[in-house]
Amino acid sequence: MPCAGPGLRRARRGVGEGAGGYNGGVRDERTERAGGGFPQIPPAGLLFGLGIDVIEADRIRRLLERLPRAYARLFSEQERAYCDRFSDRWSHYAARFAAKEAVGKALGIGIIGFVWRDIEVLSGGKPFIALHGDVARIARHLGVTRVEVTLSHTGGMAYAVAAALKEETHG
């Protein structure tokens, strides 16, 4: 298949393969021959929404230097303590800001109309999202039980992808 590349083939949709298989339905025959499998992904119905955001770290630096009160409006004490530990704190602040926007998009509420601190990016290895206040109430109303996030920053840019997930219901 044109998009699969050498050694790769499209996964057949079948029992137990979820929504087309792992990695967009592409399976690596080399991994399968070596006895490796694919991580299990949730059935398609469990993904409520997906959000992505990218921002320049310098943009966050300029904002926070110009408006110091924005620290407390945008970030929790824990987020500030985490970011301030680093010599390049602006990329960490930017990644957390991008994560908040990505979470808003994943929940379908956008980026306006919520308290920024109601979406908290906590760290201690893998980052995780804690929802508070109105955002937590909206998520519960929508049936969203957790939000997964991944962050990255390089070359002066910060990136975040968030997935709002629902629990599988039987019956």
> What residue numbers bound the domain in which 23 lies?
8-41
Three-class DSSP category at 78: helix
Lookup: tokens for 57: 């770290």
Q: Check if the beta carbon of residue 103 is closer than 8 Å to that of residue 95.
A: no
Is residue 127 included in any domain, yes or no?
yes
Return the amino acid letter for 44: A
The confidence band for 169, taking pLDDT boundaries of 50, 70 and 90, is low
Spatial distance between the Cα atoms of 73 and 141, rounded to a whole number of angstroms: 25
Output 36-42 pairs: Cβ under 8 A, ≥24 positions apart.
42/18, 42/165, 42/168
- Claim to verify: residue 30 and residue 69 sit in the same structural domain: no
Q: Based on the number of CB atoms within 10 Å of its own CB, is 147 exposed (0-12), middle (13-18) or buried (19 or more)?
A: buried
Same domain, 36 and 51: no
Q: Among 10-19, 45-54, 59-68, name the most confident range.
A: 59-68
Provide the 3-class DSSP secondary structure of residue 27.
Answer: strand
86 and 53 within one domain: yes
Q: Are residues 18 and 96 in the same domain?
A: no
24 and 50 share one domain: no
Q: What is the pLDDT of residues 73-129, one digit of tens each?
A: 999 999 999 999 999 999 999 999 999 999 999 999 988 878 999 999 998 789 999
Do the domain assignments include residue 3?
A: no
Q: Which residue has the tokens 């943009």?
A: 59
Pick the more confident residue, 152 or 123: 152
Tell me: do 99 and 146 sit in the same domain. Answer: yes
Contact between 110 and 53 (Cβ < 8 Å): no
